Amino acid sequence: MISISHLRKAYGDTVAVDDVSLEVAAGEVMGILGPNGAGKTTTVECVAGLRVPDSGTVRVAGLDPRTDRPELTRVLGVQLQESRLQPKITVAEAMRLWSALYADPVPWAGLVERLGLEDQAGSRFRDLSGGQQQRLSIALALVGRPRVVILDELSTGLDPRARREVWQVVRDLRADGVTVLLVTHAMEEAQQLCDRIAIIDHGRVRALDTPDGLISEASAATVTSFTAEEPVDLESLRALASVSSVRTDAGRVVVEGRDGAALEVLERLARQQVTPHGLRVVDGTLDTAYLQLTDTREETPA
Amino acid sequence: MSTSTNRGTTPGTAPGTSTATPAASRTSPTAAVVRTEAVLFGRELGSLFWIVLFPTILLVILGFVPDFTEPDPALGGQRVIDLYASVVVVLATIMAAVMAMPSVIAGYRESGVLRRLRTTPVHPAALLGAQVALHAAAVLGSVVLALGTARVLHDVPLPGAVGWYAVALVLTTAAAFSVGAVVTAVSASARVVQTVGTVVIFPLMFTSGVWMPVQTMSGWLRDVVVATPLGAASEALNDALHGLRPDLVDLAVVTGWAAVLSLVAVRLFRWE
């Protein structure tokens, strides 16, 4: 549904996007993660037709964002980062205006309700909180029944409750078969919502996999933690091949390692006659995977 | 141009009930943009005051200056108040095109409204067109109010050469908007627009004759002023008000400035 091939975009001497290729299947929720200045926003702006790539090609539903703008705007909904509306326009007026721009708009009252803005229908844009402005912006991106949606910094500035509501909206989009390109900083958000995640750094795709795939690739796929009354020989745990790090954290011993590290740790503890208490074995988080991929980029083939 | 804002669906159509509205009965995107901008313009009470009311108020007050209502042989028998009837019309165009509109457009550009609209089926030019149309409509309202009031209160004649007056008014408005467009185009932010606008507005007011009508100027000052867009506009409007065909040189000066400045603005304008 979205096809990006060898995209490159520089602003003067600064290369924002070096070489990004990405295929997003129809109905897929693709997350784009990466540090600030990694080229995430420039990439999606090229997809939205707001910027002209220096080289490479972009296709959205077979359309070229540069030359097929009228057709593109009918299939693509865009929520931009830091985009504001007319200061004195009300929520209802904005929704009504945007509805009139599309041939078959979603009934906007329902959309406003799903985003928790029904009490603000008569409020002017400048009087809305940052989170409310953000939710209105999302509603506007969806009102035209897009087949593809770009959401840039979806939940920035939202309180936890509003964030859940917005996440549900993305899940509903997915259930409806809409293709979503989700730019985010929030690992939890990416992990919860995305079918696949592309980690972008320095204008290149560093990794592209499912959230689980990214986590299990990382050296901290599982985290084993416990307390013990007996002294624990941490060095002997560190010596295990599957273990990547051992530390004590508020009295608990925390061992990070690859899949299967937990069993080896327990075996080693039994040999040391140590009885672990409050034992917990959990999946590693995307955070660790992300930090590894964006830190050690020289070792990661693009 | 203002009638187009009224067509289309009634604003009260209940949202959420009309999923199957036939396309023909729906508001066209451009009409929806114009209608929305009209509502928003109606909330700009400050702009409306300066564009629509202020020129008339000024004209009414000047009419109470005793000397201004005496026919002056040096002015070919015209009274000073008669001259001011044209000056305040030019003033209305300055207020709309240079004071009010550039900061609106620059604000839209700065806050990303234009950019956001680029991702929808309507081109952001529709928004600029709507703003120009609405501000021009306000100018027209201001002109009608000023001339009507002057006629009733101070016995200033209504335009004698209506056709020529319309031509002069359209050209004057075009020239003023082209100045405003250049101000918007050269300014990087809404803040700069305010500053540049304030700097530009005083010479514009002077050349249009707010402090002394162009016809009362003499020598090199008059030669310079009638070569400026709004000085020539004042002359042309005054001629047409008194039933004369405006000097073609004046009309050419106004048209020339409008064309050149519009071209410059289009070349320099950035959408974001």
Q: What domain count does chain B have?
A: 1
Kindly provide the ipTM of the predicted complex, given to two decimals: 0.81
> For B148, phi and psi rounded to 5 degrees?
-65, -45
Task: Assign B22 a pLDDT band (cuts: 50, 70, 90).
Answer: very low
- CB distance A85–B40 less than 8 Å? no
Give per-residue pLDDT as tens, A100-131.
999 999 999 999 998 889 999 999 999 998 88
CA nearest to B23 within chain A: A103
Q: Is A128 helix (H, G, I), strand (E, B) or coil?
A: coil
Q: 0.90 cut: is pTM over it?
A: no
CA nearest to B126 within chain A: A101
In the predicted structure, residue B132 carries a pLDDT above the cut 60? yes
Residue A250 to residue A228: CA distance in whole angstroms = 12
Query: In chain B, which residues have their Cβ closer than 8 Å to the Cβ of A134?
Result: none
Q: Nearest by CB to A50, which of B16, B19, B115?
A: B115
Chain A / chain B CB contacts < 8 angstroms: 84
| pLDDT for the residue numbered A250 | 81
Minimum mean pLDDT range among A261-270, B92-101, B108-117: A261-270
Q: Nearest by CB to A73, which of B112, B113, B121?
A: B121
Residue A281 to residue A13: CA distance in whole angstroms = 48
Task: Assign B21 a pLDDT band (cuts: 50, 70, 90).
Answer: very low
Q: A258 CB contacts (<8 Å, ≥6 apart)?
A: A219, A221, A222, A242, A244
Residue B20 lies inside a defined structural domain of this protein: no
CB-based burial label for B20 (10 Å; 0-12, 13-18, 19+): exposed
Numbered residues of chain B with Cβ closer than 8 Å to any chain A Cβ: 8, 11, 15-19, 23, 26-29, 31-33, 36, 39-40, 43-44, 107-108, 111-113, 115-116, 118-122
Give per-residue pLDDT as tens, B199-213.
999 999 999 999 999
Q: In angstroms, what separates the C-alpha of B121 from chain A's closest C-alpha?
A: 5
Task: Assign B220 a pLDDT band (cuts: 50, 70, 90).
Answer: very high
Q: Nearest by CB to A89, which of B29, B40, B121?
A: B40
Q: Nearest by CB to B120, which of A73, A82, A96?
A: A73
In the predicted structure, residue A281 carries a pLDDT above the cut 90? no
| pLDDT for the residue numbered B26 | 64
Minimum mean pLDDT range among A162-166, A297-301, B51-55, B175-179: A297-301
> For A208, phi and psi rounded to 5 degrees?
-150, 110
CB A77 within 8 A of CB A102: no
Q: What is the DSSP-derived secondary structure letter of residue A118?
A: G
| pLDDT for the residue numbered A246 | 87
Give per-residue pLDDT as tens, A1-14.
999 999 999 988 88
Task: Assign A302 a pLDDT band (cuts: 50, 70, 90).
Answer: very low
| pLDDT for the residue numbered B157 | 93
| pLDDT for the residue numbered B262 | 96
User: What is the pLDDT averaged over residues A255-281?
Assistant: 85
Task: Assign B235 a pLDDT band (cuts: 50, 70, 90).
Answer: very high
Among A72, A86, A140, A148, most B C-beta atoms within 10 A, so best to mutate, is A86
Q: Nearest by CB to B119, which of A48, A84, A89?
A: A48
| pLDDT for the residue numbered A295 | 64
What percent of chain B lies above the pLDDT cut of 70? 90
Query: Hey, is the C-beta of A97 within 8 angstroms of any chain B C-beta?
Result: yes
In the predicted structure, residue A299 carries a pLDDT above the cut 60? no
In the predicted structure, residue A155 carries a pLDDT above the cut 70? yes
**What are the boundaries of each domain within chain A?**
2-212, 219-283
Domain region containing B55: 27-268
Q: Is A154 helix (H, G, I), strand (E, B) or coil?
A: coil
User: What is the pLDDT averaged over residues B5-17?
Assistant: 39
CA nearest to B30 within chain A: A101
- CB distance A100–B120 less than 8 Å? no
User: What is the pLDDT averaged over residues A219-228?
Assistant: 82
| pLDDT for the residue numbered B17 | 41
Give the orientation angle of helix B125-154 with respect to helix B80-94, to 10 degrees: 160
Minimum mean pLDDT range among A230-244, B51-65, B186-200, B216-230: A230-244
In the predicted structure, residue A300 carries a pLDDT above the cut 80? no
| pLDDT for the residue numbered B8 | 38
User: What is the pLDDT averaged over residues B21-45?
Assistant: 83
| pLDDT for the residue numbered A255 | 87
User: What is the pLDDT averaged over residues A245-269?
Assistant: 84
| pLDDT for the residue numbered B180 | 95
Minimum mean pLDDT range among A93-97, A199-203, B228-232: A199-203
Q: Which CATH number does the domain A219-283 belong to among 3.20.20.70, 1.20.1250.20, 3.30.70.1340, 3.40.50.2300?
A: 3.30.70.1340
Q: What is the DSSP-derived secondary structure letter of residue A238?
A: H
What percent of chain B lies above the pLDDT cut of 90? 80
Torsion of CA B19, B20, B23, B27, to 10 degrees: -40
Residue B8 lies inside a defined structural domain of this protein: no
Instruction: Report the 10 Å Cβ neighbour count for B67.
Output: 9
Give per-residue pLDDT as tens, A74-102.
999 999 887 899 999 999 999 999 999 99
Q: In angstroms, what separates the C-alpha of B116 from chain A's closest C-alpha?
A: 7
- CB distance A107–B122 less than 8 Å? no
- CB distance A84–B111 less than 8 Å? yes
| pLDDT for the residue numbered B1 | 38
User: What is the pLDDT averaged over residues A250-273?
Assistant: 84
Tell me, which fold does domain A2-212 have in CATH?
Answer: Rossmann fold (3.40.50)
CB A271 within 8 A of CB A250: no
| pLDDT for the residue numbered A12 | 86
Cα R_g (chain B), whole angstroms:
20
Give per-residue pLDDT as tens, B66-98.
889 889 888 888 999 999 999 999 999 999 999
| pLDDT for the residue numbered B83 | 94
In the predicted structure, residue B263 carries a pLDDT above the cut 50? yes
| pLDDT for the residue numbered B179 | 96
Residue B154 lies inside a defined structural domain of this protein: yes
Residue B11 lies inside a defined structural domain of this protein: no
Residue B19 lies inside a defined structural domain of this protein: no
Q: Nearest by CB to A107, which of B15, B36, B116?
A: B15
What percent of chain A lies above the pLDDT cut of 90? 43
| pLDDT for the residue numbered B249 | 96
More confident residue, A241 or A136: A136
Task: Assign A289 a pLDDT band (cuts: 50, 70, 90).
Answer: confident
In the predicted structure, residue A202 carries a pLDDT above the cut 90? no
- CB distance A49–B17 less than 8 Å? no
Runs of H (alpha helix) within A194-285: 211-217, 234-238, 261-271
